[in-house]
Structure 1
Amino acid sequence: MTRRQERLFVLEASSGGRLFSVNTDGTEKKVLVTGCRIPDGVAVDVVAGHIYWTNMGIPSENDGSIERVDLDGGNRTTIVPSGATYTPKQLHFEATGRKLYWGDREGMRVMRCDLDGSNVETLVQTGQGENDRRDETKWCVGVTVDPVGGHLYWTQKGPSDAGLGKILRTGIDLPAGESAAERGDIEVLFEGLPEPIDLELDLAERVLYWTDRGDPPRGNTVNRSPMDPPAGQRTPEILLTHLMEGIGIALDTDGGRMYVTDLAGNVYATDLDGSNRREILILQGNLTGIARAVLPAGTRV
């Protein structure tokens, strides 16, 4: 009997930009796509059989895009064309609403679209124009969604190692009569963080996880916090330290594991509390986004 396959899908921003997949122990690496324009965020829709990723393009230019391939790397398609988003970063596939969400860094916004790239929307706008674009505290990077609670979460990382990073949340949809630039339902969950990047949610346990690529001791870490803590008790718990600029994170909540990438080219596997740390890949180039998927038996990868 053919068993289902558990695979990690990882982006590598150097070496011309690549998307590859591996088993969760780091074996059987397969390069699926090359020639990506600084890829950053990746997401997998197992039901439809697609992998999605963002291309930052040239960060100073409005030329970002989002692409899609089949699980085996075939049928490469651009769904959000160059310039429809400025500098797309981390990417989230929300299975309930069948939408893609991403942070647009130099675009200073959080965006979403349908899975074919249609209905591109701006949900949060933190700034407008070139003067605001120079203010890195307005840059949106990581994103995730809680469809049960009805919330969208994102990071604004701030300048490198500046300790000005934030994690925020708001409603999934724009309130009636409000705009993305002036919505009254935004909450700041954390501020003064070194440089928060990617986000993931354990919806069953109501826990928020994130990577931070800023300076130690609070940076170069993986952190977590309850999504709904008692008032005034938002204190991050540091789970992993000594990353080399941590970027992507993917959770296996059923198996109690998480997977993390850093820009030094390492993929780490640990328990959800950060214990039993193991490097399953090392020196793979500048690694950015990571996603985990359980594929049906017989799926070709």
Structure 2
Amino acid sequence: DLVTGLTNPYGIALDVSAGKMYWTDYATNKIQDANMDGTGDVCDLVTGLTYPIAIALDVANGKMYWTDIIDGNIYDANMDGTGDVCELVTGLTTPLGIALDVAAGKMYWTDGGTSKIQRANMSDGSSVEDLVTGLSAPIGIALDVVAGKMYWTDFGTDKIQRANMSDGSSVEDLVTGLDEPYGIALDVAGRKMYWTDIDTDKIQRANMDGVLTPGEVWSFRVVRDPCNGAAWRGKDDTFYAIWAFNDWDTGPNVAAD
């Protein structure tokens, strides 16, 4: 356990170079950060929010972006919490997952209320586009920018799917027959995708093309009520994962593996 005694931590994102992790807490209406090894103080960066859910970082420009499912907005602020909180996109229904293509200046998000994946300019939220429509309940989203693919979980159809980032074309079913897939993260270098399942209380993985490693989806940890996670590959080529979850016995936590 890295951080304990939280209330309802949900989305999480990493600044690996600085050794910092950032997360949303929808019960205390905050965005907080701490050292990735759990040492030091937990800092309140942004307070007085409504219902912050997913979070993504533009480390190069020192910005963090998050979704709020109650007021239907996407916001950004400085990663150190200074300055103003800016409304970038307003009037959405249920914005959930968010992912950034920093090089192209685009943010992508899922909307579980309108069953869409959309994108807009990161700078000011302009040029909102519908990329994929007619989904059931898209939740988590992750990008493979080099290959030009976006991956998402669909809580309603129990699938992991992907499509072209450019225009939402070529929608593919990668993994089907899941229970309640939620958050998703990519190890692009290792060509693996990892996801949480809040019905089976597992974190699972498969190849990014949907081909399962010998016979089955591989489950490496049983977690009570896993939500969203982040992943990275270290200098030693070891894969690391970190996630926020609510454990029925120990309460909300941030954990790592």
The answer to which structure has the higher strand fraction is 2
The aligned counterpart of 2:224 is 244
**Counterparts of residues 57-76 of structure 1 (less than 5 Å):** 57=70, 63-76=71-84
Query: What do you get for the CA RMSD once the two structures are aligned?
Result: 2.0
Identify which of 150, 153, 161 aligns with 1:152: 150
Identify which of 44, 48, 56 aligns with 1:43: 56
Residue 266 (structure 1) shift: 1.0
One-letter amino acid of the counterpart of residue 238, structure 1: S
* Contact 1:201-1:208 within 8 A present in 2 as well: yes
Residue 47 (structure 1) shift: 1.0
Q: If the length of structure 2 is used for normalisation, what is the TM-score?
A: 0.84
Identify which of 46, 58, 67 aligns with 1:54: 67
Secondary structure, counterpart of 2:190 in structure 1: coil
Kindly name which structure, 1 or 2, has the bigger radius of gyration based on alpha carbons.
Answer: 1
**Counterparts of residues 11-22 of structure 1 (less than 5 Å):** 11-15=24-28, 17-22=29-34
Answer 1 or 2: higher relative contact order, Cα 8 Å, separation at least 6. 1
**Counterparts of residues 12-161 of structure 1 (less than 5 Å):** 12-15=25-28, 17-27=29-39, 28-57=41-70, 63-83=71-91, 85-116=92-123, 117-126=125-134, 138-158=136-156
Tell me, in whole angstroms, the C-alpha distance in 2 between the residues paired with 1:203 and 1:234.
Answer: 21
Secondary structure, counterpart of 1:194 in structure 2: coil
Residue 237 (structure 1) shift: 0.8
Which 5+ residue runs of structure 1 have no aligned equivalent? Answer: 58-62, 128-137, 159-163, 175-179, 271-301
* Contact 1:155-1:167 within 8 A present in 2 as well: yes
* Contact 1:65-1:78 within 8 A present in 2 as well: no
Tell me, in whole angstroms, the C-alpha distance in 2 between the residues paired with 1:190 and 1:90.
Answer: 19
* Contact 2:119-2:131 within 8 A present in 1 as well: yes
* Contact 2:206-2:212 within 8 A present in 1 as well: no
Whether 1:267 aligns to 2:254 is: yes
Q: If the length of structure 1 is used for normalisation, what is the TM-score?
A: 0.72
* Contact 1:7-1:23 within 8 A present in 2 as well: yes
The aligned counterpart of 2:163 is 170
Q: How many residues align?
A: 232
Secondary structure, counterpart of 2:61 in structure 1: coil
Tell me, in whole angstroms, the C-alpha distance in 1 between the residues paired with 2:211 and 2:66.
Answer: 36
Residue 229 (structure 1) shift: 5.5
| Distance change (3 Å), C-alpha of 1:88 and 1:152 | same
| Distance change (3 Å), C-alpha of 1:213 and 1:76 | farther
* Contact 1:40-1:89 within 8 A present in 2 as well: yes
1:134-182 deviation digits (Å, cap 9, x = unpaired) = xxxx111111111222211111102xxxxx41111111122xxxxx6xx
Percent same amino acid among aligned pairs? 29
Tell me, in whole angstroms, the C-alpha distance in 2 between the residues paired with 1:244 and 1:53.
Answer: 24
The aligned counterpart of 1:196 is 181
Tell me, in whole angstroms, the C-alpha distance in 2 between the residues paired with 1:140 and 1:249.
Answer: 16
